[in-house]
Amino acid sequence: MKFIPILLIVLFAACSNTSNDIDNSAPKENSVVKKDFEKGKVVDHIALSNNQNHSFALYLPLQYDATKKYPALIFFDPHGGGAFAIGHYSNLANQYNCILIGSNDSKNGLDMNETYQIVHELIVETKSDFAVDTNKITLCGFSGGAKVALNAASQMNIISKVVYCGAAIPIQNCNHPLQMLGFAGLKDMNYSEIVSFSMSQFPTFIKNYCVEWNGKHEWPDEKTFEQAFYFLNNETEKLNLISLTDDKIKMLEQEQNTHQAYVSLFQTEDMNFWEKEISRLNQQKAIDKTGLSERLLGYISLVCYSYANKMLQQNQMKDAEKFLMVYKMADPINSDCDLFYAQLFAKENKVTRMYISLKSAVSNGLKDWSKIENEPSFAPFLQQNEMQTIHSLIK
- Cα 67 to Cα 279: distance, rounded to the nearest angstrom: 59
Domains of the chain: 42-238 (3.40.50.1820), 251-394 (1.25.40)
Q: Which residues of the chain have pLDDT under 50?
A: 1-34
Is the separation of the CB atoms in 100 and 59 below 8 Å? Answer: yes
Chain centre to alpha carbon of residue 377: 26
Contacts of 361 (CB under 8 A, 6+ apart): 335, 336, 338, 339, 342
User: What are 67-96's pLDDT values in tens digits?
Assistant: 999 999 999 999 899 999 999 999 999 999
Partner residues linked to 184 by β-bridges = 212
DSSP β-ladder status, 178-185 and 161-165: parallel
- Cα 47 to Cα 104: distance, rounded to the nearest angstrom: 10
The pLDDT of residue 35 is 54
The pLDDT of residue 367 is 86
216-253: b (≥16 Cβ within 10 Å) or e = ebebbeeebbbbbbbbbeeeeeeeeebeeeeeebeebe
The pLDDT of residue 19 is 32
The pLDDT of residue 50 is 86
Angle at the Cα of 155 from the Cα atoms of 81 and 179, rounded to 5 degrees: 80
